[in-house]
Structure 1
Amino acid sequence: MPPSAPELVDFAALGLPQPLVRELARQGITTPFEIQRATMPDALAGRDVLGRGQTGSGKTLAFGLPLLARLANGERARPRHPRALVLVPTRELAMQVSDALFPLGRTIGVFLRTAVGGVPYDRQISSLRRGVEVLVATPGRLADLIERGVCRLDDIEVTVLDEADQMADMGFLPEVTELLAKTPADAQRLLFSATLDKDVDALVRRFMTDPVTHSTAPPTAAVETMDHHLLLIPPHDKFSVVASIAAREGRTMVFARTQLGVDRLVGQLAAVGVRAGGLHGGKTQRMRTRTLAEFREGRTNVLVATDVAARGIHVDGVSLVLHVDPPKDPKDYLHRAGRTARAGETGAVATLALPKQRRGTLAMLEKAGVAPAQTRVRAGDPALAELTGAREPSGVPVPDEPEPRRRTGRPDGDRRFADRHRRGEPGRTGDRRHSGRPTEGRSERRSGDRRFGGRPAAGTH
């Protein structure tokens, strides 16, 4: 089938500077996604833009390319005064934004750094003191840096809110509001979100000027590229069903409701021969980074995560999402489901439900716009293998791999937090008090990254 007319549009036709077009081509990126074609002309023209698109739809380049193009005038950032700000809800999303935009910015002399928690302040402070054009930040760490007097938002020309609905869900709106109020009133603002509900609308009405809205995906799960299954199981078969699905071929994301549930399931799977990584807000940043890298690179085929920890994780090739614990909120279902069937790929979403959970789960799915195929299955049922690729685990326990030891002497309470974590006590990874927030949310606010320091030497990253 020949491509439709919109697919013939390339990045040069959208008005991008040639160095960016060439770098995109070098990376094998030549055809803009739908949300990029829709939003980039207005963003490049300096308009405030509201973009709605499902995860994996190309939102990072939709805001990142116009942002870089605007800063590509050779003007250097003043010390402590970044020229553009990208606010994200989690450290993992900050990593991915940085991975996507850093090499593009470097080709035009626009340098990007992250300001996220769970790591020492000193290198982030050093970068800001030398001057950095684009700052990708989580709200909590950025607020801390501003309080310390090492970052000011007076020179911000473009502000991006990425995954705005998730920031609202995680309770970040008060901080986001304070941070936006510190940016110039005439700065361009780009807001990207899977949904544009009433919480996000409050930010739009206060901070955006005559925004143009581009909506490329309805706030429901993709039915054309996803198969949705509700697997009705007897209580005593639950782990056996989970283990057989986790032992399947292909990349699988498994969702549990709590941090304890994630850790318990990872251990239980290891005991029956399924190697899985666990991701939640109670993990140290070094462990989170390693776990995500192993999953992305295919060294681990199963990632077990909580909702908050998985927000912003964009890993290609996830062929199945498994809800061990059915989500209660349709937005959580849509977010979880969005880990598969990304960027035109296909995938499946399976939700396990005990008999007492069936009615509530179906009501939630209806609100999410999903009509799943319902199947009653037991451990070893051929239908389970047919629907999910389930197979019998090897039964050979996976050797335990302890978390790498952290270096001592780190500033800003990192060592104290690590000690609390080992004892199983709650703690915070920054130096500001936050009361009344869920533990998972507190952990996520201090997000970490692996890129720090000032401008790289020539030829380095």
Structure 2
Amino acid sequence: MTRPERPARQAAPARGRPQRARQEPARASAPRPARKGQTSGTRKPARRAQAPQGEFALPESITPALPAVAAFDELDMPAALLKTLAAQGVDTPFPIQGATLPNSLAGRDILGRGRTGSGKTLAFGLAMLARTAGRRAEPRAPLAMVLVPTRELAQQVTDALTPYATAVNLRMATVVGGMSIGRQAGTLRRGAEILVATPGRLKDLLDRGDCVLGQVTITVLDEADQMADMGFLPQVTQLLNQVEPGGQRMLFSATLDRNIDRLVRQYLTDPVVHSVDPSAGAVTTMEHHVLHVADETEKKAVTARIAARDGRVIMFIDTKRSADRLAKRLLASGVPAAALHGGRSQPQRNRTLEQFKNGQVTALVATNVAARGIHIDDLGLVVNVDPPMDHKDYLHRGGRTARAGESGSVVTLVLPEQKREMSQLMSAAGITPHTARVKSTDEELTRITGAREPSGIPVVLEVPQQATPQKSPSSRPRQRSRGGSGGSTGGQRRSGSTTTGTASSGQRRSGSSAAGTPSGGQRRSGQAGGTGAAPAKESGQGQGQGGRGRPRRATRSAGAPQPRRPAAGER
């Protein structure tokens, strides 16, 4: 299963920061400081519409919303943003963008529901950048903040908004776990107007004093329902209590369940509500298939043939261990496959995603860590090898395909004992799938998924290795002359041992004894003993007589008088 940011322990809010009054769910809303153009006073509870199954009743706006726009140039946005939109090939706003941008640019709170791939990132991102443009953040004090549940979603939001932020000279900082907290703190110290963060890592930086939220005037919660499901609500509320009171709040998600009703009632004031899709998140360009297989053996064969299709596919599976096993099995059968799950480090996950995007990997075996926040262009098929636990997971898994108006298919493999649960899940999602009973060799399977027989030739994926820094000439081991008997130099390199017969006065560290002099001593690592001196290699041991190498010259016995050490010119 997904292992995202671990929620940190909740701490008391720092002193001196403005706090927003908390309230019990059944009580009336607390007073909120008035914004520009609003009159102060007790906030009126918003009227609520009838709630769909599993969701809370959406509030009805008291103040009428501004009408939607059909083109970006109808919006009051900086010219640099409009120019960048054209350069990025974004000509026409998606429905959720056209409906919410006029209101978010005016400073209204937004409650938006739209399926994954419907354009939520630009819906909140353009308004946030336009309203922040021209301002400059102080060190450690961002001006706008986007909270997301996973590292991958944070990176996707950053990548999507970077061209637009650059166009209006705004600096971005991404704060997630699994990466260097020191570097992230350094970025904040240098100043960043826009902060994209996961709650756990941001809490760590706040505790260290590397970030303050008192100047944040625009706050966005993206995929808020998943943050609630993952136990982040205490942290999210603590973070929201530290931002500037009266600031703008925007909450976007593909699903809005009852877990985030508290956030809506406590932190959104008379929000503009927009639901671009029905609660099921159904998309006309997406096909849903439930394929019944006889047993686990047939399921493995069907999975292998689907993975070998001509084109990329994401295959969702329940556990990290199962993902690793399936990826290894597919590689052995000739399918370029890789596993993506929370047990991998962030650099490993980034590398795997890059291999999948560039086609080096065609079958991505993933746990729910990839179910949100990963955008892959032209991905036509998602396969639930293991059916999801609930309809929300199904919608977010399927949201990896049929994005931004493209077409795609979601296929779920179902064993006989899973049939009843799958029917209930589809009913909760409001989806009527195409069903079929298939075997690995059926033409129906090929028609639906493009399945074909794997090549059988094992695939080995190249893993980039970090370059080993080469030693400079000055760092090469040098032969040392620490004295000798009769001019011999029983020197050695670094570790190893050479001795030449004379009395040595003790050991230094536990290393090489130099030949001949009473102050020979041993250095670094090695052993002294025997007679005769052989030059020792990097990690060898010269054992004298009976050891490796020939002694350069015979040495005197330990009790014999020692000659004076020859001067350099006498050698």
Question: Hey, what does 2:503 align to over in structure 1?
Answer: none
**One-letter code of the match for 1:290?**
R
Greater RCO, CA 8 A, separation 6+: 1
Residue 182 to residue 190, structure 1, CA distance change in 2 (3 Å): same
Q: Deviating runs (4+, > 3 A) in structure 1?
A: 400-407
Question: Hey, what does 2:182 align to over in structure 1?
Answer: 122
Separation in 2, partners of 1:358, 1:19: 53
Contact residue 220 and residue 334 of structure 1 kept, 8 A: yes
| 1:222 maps onto 2:299 in alignment | no
| Structure-to-structure mapping, 1:179-194, within 5 angstroms | 179-194=239-254
Contact residue 280 and residue 309 of structure 1 kept, 8 A: yes
Question: Hey, what does 1:268 align to over in structure 2?
Answer: 329
Q: 2:273 aligns with which of 206, 213, 236?
A: 213
| Structure-to-structure mapping, 1:35-434, within 5 angstroms | 35-73=96-134, 75-235=135-295, 236-402=297-463, 404=465
Give the structure-2-normalised TM-score.
0.68
Contact residue 272 and residue 395 of structure 1 kept, 8 A: yes
Residue 15 to residue 150, structure 1, CA distance change in 2 (3 Å): same
Which structure 1 segments of 5+ residues have no match? 1-5, 408-461
Q: How many Å apart are 1:225 and its aligned residue? A: 1.2
Residue 400 to residue 318, structure 1, CA distance change in 2 (3 Å): closer
**One-letter code of the match for 1:339?**
R
Separation in 2, partners of 1:360, 1:107: 49
Question: Hey, what does 1:14 align to over in structure 2?
Answer: 75
Contact residue 116 and residue 137 of structure 1 kept, 8 A: yes
Give the structure-1-normalised TM-score.
0.84
> Which structure has the greater CA radius of gyration?
2
Q: How many Å apart are 1:7 and its aligned residue? A: 10
Q: How many Å apart are 1:121 and its aligned residue? A: 1.3
1:257-309 deviation digits (Å, cap 9, x = unpaired): 11111111100110100111211111011110011112222332221111134
| 1:26 maps onto 2:87 in alignment | yes
Contact residue 69 and residue 99 of structure 2 kept, 8 A: no
**One-letter code of the match for 1:304?**
V
Q: How many Å apart are 1:196 and its aligned residue? A: 1.7
Separation in 1, partners of 2:423, 2:103: 40
Superposition RMSD in Å: 1.8
Question: Hey, what does 1:425 align to over in structure 2?
Answer: none
Q: Secondary structure at the match of 2:74?
A: coil
**One-letter code of the match for 2:353?**
L
**One-letter code of the match for 1:175?**
Q
Contact residue 311 and residue 335 of structure 1 kept, 8 A: yes
Separation in 2, partners of 1:152, 1:167: 21
Q: Percent identity?
A: 56
Which structure 2 segments of 5+ residues have no match? 1-66, 469-571
Contact residue 48 and residue 210 of structure 1 kept, 8 A: yes
**One-letter code of the match for 2:306?**
I
Contact residue 50 and residue 192 of structure 1 kept, 8 A: yes
**Greater helix proportion:** 1
Contact residue 333 and residue 458 of structure 2 kept, 8 A: yes
1:117-159 deviation digits (Å, cap 9, x = unpaired): 1011121111111111001000000000000001000000100
**One-letter code of the match for 2:236?**
V
**One-letter code of the match for 1:38?**
A
Q: How many Å apart are 1:359 and its aligned residue? A: 1.5
Separation in 2, partners of 1:59, 1:339: 14
Separation in 1, partners of 2:400, 2:467: 31
